[in-house]
Chains A and B, each alone.
Chain A
């Protein structure tokens, strides 16, 4: 009934827990303290008591883990389930969500320190990754056929993923572009905008040519974009925007504040003149 690993670690756990109680009593604990983990009364010498309790509970935790896996003994697992043999499970397929999740956590970490918007972006990425990862894990064992599992997963997730990914890509692109345009010089902004127009034209030509893009190139571009956005987010936040020239109305252009519709509210706060 009980596995060898469980008995080994459970025995150690019980021995250490007993030692903790005895140590508590012999170092000045009262009659209830060492038994109640100090909730009612003293436990004697704190450090040694705490150490023994921690190790004892850890050993019991390992014992419970081991018995929940039946010591990883397939014969024992089969006996426990009342079957002849344990069927092999399919290998876990590759997934890009772990690396996206890692970037998400990195984004959260940087955002936590530097910028709330970046932090929220990280949270959103992590939430999306958790959902996707969960769906992948479910789909992996939906049926015995990996291809059918993949088709099933895509049928459910694609209607959600494609609009969400498109929205995110546009939002990130716009955000990154706005940061670049605010940071570079006036001439640089013109050059960047020109390059962007050429890039959009290039993508459009590729898309209409009917050739399927190489998966590795797409992955490389996505990774580069992720690194670029994360790096640029940090850099742009630290570096800030370029200096903008302050225009003083009504001097150079000969325009008055009244002609621009600017209302002085500093006199009496009554903008309607009543």
Chain B
């Protein structure tokens, strides 16, 4: 990377006073991290709308798998089901967090820009192109294998799906590299790793986990592609295609790997709660450690059900000690993260008004969904239940990924002044977040419970139990609520953009350096280079110092 990119501007560089770039060319060729972040965010929000629509259709189909045939065939049904799962992780959650981080993290660490800004721009456009290829290929009859004998055109579309997904993954990896380098090497003077803001730290951990594990997914894709285009067919079921390709890749959206998409939720929780409560963050070091521990437990490239060549031991991958230990331990850092949060809320209860702001509600609700998902994950691995292959797997995925979506939405509301120079409507935010949370709980919760009734995770297997049928109705209601919440998010953003009202630089009394910039932040972010950072809350330090000097005088 360093061979083909300029060295990043160091955090000590003085502010760039170039005029704000405008026009189509400047939009396409920008190296301003805020504009690049907005490309990711826009893509994530629109992908969310698409994903929730698919979720509703899948819920309807599941409701009466024998009667309705929304997708006109078993194969399209399977491919849309798979697209929803991979899309929610790679096309919705990943771009939302990368977008948020690309805008906020450089400012949080006091840098004038993201590291390798041109690479970051290439990642954003590569993502858009890869996502486009992926969606078009699935719509053209491709997907992750074929249920029936595939035609030559469908085989081409399957291959296109694989390369499109590969391009998406490469783009996410490139963006992760830029973000990790920003946090590691562009922190302002005095900001040690232990003083790194929680959101920036959580993105460093997320980037590290993705950089460790997503190349394994690329290897899976390469194996499947080569096998499909003339290999022995060992991993794809031969040239006729088969859903074995999906089986080979599904570890991405199953525990423990699915947790890697929700790591930033813990960073957002810590960042928002302390500011909303108006108190110094409680046990910052502990929060850093818990996020790191959760990241460690979300490394899942090794947990591949397709490659369990251990005939001698005759132990399934989900019966192995490491898998069970990861599943049991994952909930520990999530629940433990509520301890410093509760302490901050208790100390700042006088500062909290009547109804909580949308961002605080979203941060708490997102972490709550993650906790419920991790609890369902515990039930999935423990001996009396062993819910592998049941719909509980989808329940865990929906709870964790939709929890991540809610956290990202909370982050967008919290940092909207820095993202677009606007404040989003608190009322619309609360409504959208409540819709999303309620819907996610109904959707994921009903699926998690339905697994106990032996409902299969495979959408082609019909539901047999009456009680499971009722749970299918509940999960459909949940999917509809999630869709309404997603539309509410889009409506609030459009409304704020149309209003044209800008907001003040620091509407919440923030603690970290992004709140020291103007709104919207200029090119180069800071009017003057940030001073020496002495704690994890430098702006709070400055306010307390000013207050103390005022009292002295």
Interface residues of A (CB under 8 A from B): 4-5, 8, 47-48, 50-51, 54-55, 58, 62, 65-66, 69, 71-75, 86, 88-99, 101-103, 105-106, 109-110, 112-114, 130, 133-134, 136-137, 140-141, 215-216, 218-220, 223, 234, 238
In order of increasing CB-CB distance, the 4 nearest A-B pairs are A102-B125, A98-B122, A88-B13, A106-B129
- B26, closest chain A residue (CB): A94
Question: How far, in Å, is B189 (CB) from chain A's closest CB?
Answer: 6
Q: Given A51-B302, A88-B10, A98-B122, does the pair A137, B5 have CB atoms closer than 8 Å?
A: yes
**Which residue from B25, B118, B208 sits with its C-beta under 8 Å from A97?**
B118
Q: In the complex, are the beta carbons of A92 and B8 less than 8 A apart?
A: yes
In whole Å, how far is A74's beta carbon from the nearest beta carbon of chain B?
5
- B303 closest partner in A (C-beta): A47
**Across the interface, which residues of A come within 8 angstroms of B8, CB to CB?**
89, 92
A51, A93, A99, A114 interface centre (most CB from chain B within 10 Å): A99
Q: Tell me, yes or no, whether B270 is within 8 Å of chain A by CB.
A: no
Q: Does B461 contact A (CB under 8 A)?
A: no
A215 to B12, CA, bound (A): 33
Any A CB within 8 A of the CB of B324: no
* A98, B85: Cα distance in complex, Å: 29
B28 touches A72 (CB 8 A): no
Q: How far is the CA of A73 from the CA of B6 in the complex (A)?
A: 20
The smallest C-beta distance from B73 to any residue of chain A, in angstroms, reads: 20
A-B contact pairs, 21 of them (CB 8 A): A4-B192, A54-B212, A58-B212, A66-B184, A72-B186, A74-B189, A89-B9, A91-B112, A91-B113, A91-B524, A94-B26, A99-B122, A99-B125, A102-B129, A106-B126, A130-B4, A133-B5, A137-B6, A219-B29, A234-B136, A238-B140
Complex: how many Å from CA A112 to CA B160?
9
Contact-size category for B: 35 or more
Indicate whether B434 reaches chain A with its CB closer than 8 angstroms: no
**Contact between B126 and A102, CB atoms less than 8 A apart:** yes
Q: Is the CB of B184 within 8 A of A65?
A: yes
Shortest beta-carbon distance, A157 to chain B, in Å? 15
- Chain B's interface: helix, strand, loop or mixed, by majority? helix
Q: Which of B25, B112, B129, B166 contacts A96 (CB 8 A)?
A: B25
Instruction: Flag if A98 contacts B296 (CB, 8 Å).
Output: no
Contact B11 A72 (CB under 8 A): yes
Residues of chain B lying within 8 A (CB to CB) of residue A71: 192-193
- Does residue B257 face the partner (Cβ distance < 8 Å to A)? no
- Report the minimal beta-carbon distance from B170 to chain A, rounded to whole angstroms: 8
Which residue of A5, A105, A223 contacts B193 across the interface (Cβ within 8 Å)?
A: A5
Give the Cβ gap from A123 to chain B, nearest Cβ, in Å.
14
Measured in the bound complex, the distance between the Cα atoms of B112 and A65 in whole Å is 21
